[in-house]
Amino acid sequence: MKVAVISDIHANWPALEAVLADLPEVDDVVCLGDVVGYGGDPVRCLDLVRERGWLTLSGNHDLACTDDDVLGWFNEDAAVAIRWTIEQLGADRIEWLRALPPKDTREGALFVHASPRSPVFEYVMDSESAAANLNQLGVGLCFHGHSHLPGVFRMDDGWVEHDYRLGPVTLPGPALINPGSVGQPRDRDPDASYGVWNTREGTFDFRRVAYDRVAAQRSILDAGLPDRFAHRLDYGY
């Protein structure tokens, strides 16, 4: 079985369109959350994800649209984007966001937005947090997003290894697999990032897709959102 894993679309429609066009034949798609936030096309992105019926996990930006306490933890620019997003979405789409689960399983693997021990909020970006989460995970696989940094964390002889390269990476468990971000990459590569899990071969195929960044930037600026959200798309950071 082949499962495409996408994450952190962040209301970037041109990036989502490009990823869909690049998608090889797969049996299923899972979306790891943060469908909205930062970007200028929350309605189109949410409607597409909802219509496709993909398993979609709750991200912190999705949750901030429905929970004032969570929104209160956001920095001012990110909060501005969430308040604008709430106005665009309307009640029905907000209810869809509210109903997103924080975690779920497919084919024996765990799927979350952030981490196994804190499904919506924890950034797994270093060996310490990766080791703690790998220990909790046991022998399995966990697909997560949130950091916008693609790669695989796994244990090798008691040490945490982090591996990222394009193409299929072998996945001996336990492993934390981050497909990177569709709509706001932060690994200094501006191309949209995602991947395809091949359950039979036990591999994850990391893929990058160039997209129309100018169009994505225009929609952010036209919406009057903080312009740094537009400019950072050029740097992938």
Binding site for Zn ion (CB under 5 A): 8, 34
Residue 152, Cβ density class (10 Å: 0-12 exposed, 13-18 middle, ≥19 buried): buried
Contact between 107 and 1 under an 8 Å Cβ cutoff? The reply is yes
For the bound state, the minimum distance from the C-beta of residue 59 to Zn ion, rounded and expressed in Å, comes to 6
Which residue number, 8 or 41, has a Cβ lying nearer to Zn ion?
A: 8
Residue whose C-alpha is closest to residue 37's, from 226, 237, 234: 226
Determine what percent of the chain falls in helix, strand and coil, rounding each to the nearest 5: 35, 25, 40
For the bound state, the minimum distance from the C-beta of residue 168 to Zn ion, rounded and expressed in Å, comes to 25
For the bound state, the minimum distance from the C-beta of residue 186 to Zn ion, rounded and expressed in Å, comes to 9
Among all residues, whose Cβ is closest to Zn ion? 34
For the bound state, the minimum distance from the C-beta of residue 170 to Zn ion, rounded and expressed in Å, comes to 27
Which residue number, 17 or 34, has a Cβ lying nearer to Zn ion?
A: 34
Which residue number, 39 or 116, has a Cβ lying nearer to Zn ion?
A: 39
Which residue number, 174 or 223, has a Cβ lying nearer to Zn ion?
A: 223
For the bound state, the minimum distance from the C-beta of residue 146 to Zn ion, rounded and expressed in Å, comes to 6
Which residue number, 7 or 174, has a Cβ lying nearer to Zn ion?
A: 7
40-68 per-residue burial string, b: 16 or more CB within 10 A, e: under 16:
bbbeebbebbeeeeebbbbbbbbbbbbee
Which residue number, 34 or 205, has a Cβ lying nearer to Zn ion?
A: 34
For the bound state, the minimum distance from the C-beta of residue 34 to Zn ion, rounded and expressed in Å, comes to 4
Which residue number, 34 or 41, has a Cβ lying nearer to Zn ion?
A: 34
What is the three-class DSSP state of 201? coil
Name residue, tokens 């106005």. 87
Residue 207's DSSP bridge partners are 194
Residue whose C-alpha is closest to residue 103's, from 82, 131, 122: 122
For the bound state, the minimum distance from the C-beta of residue 20 to Zn ion, rounded and expressed in Å, comes to 19
Sheet holding 151-156, edge to edge: 103-106, 109-112, 141-143, 175-178, 151-156, 159-163
Residue 139, Cβ density class (10 Å: 0-12 exposed, 13-18 middle, ≥19 buried): exposed
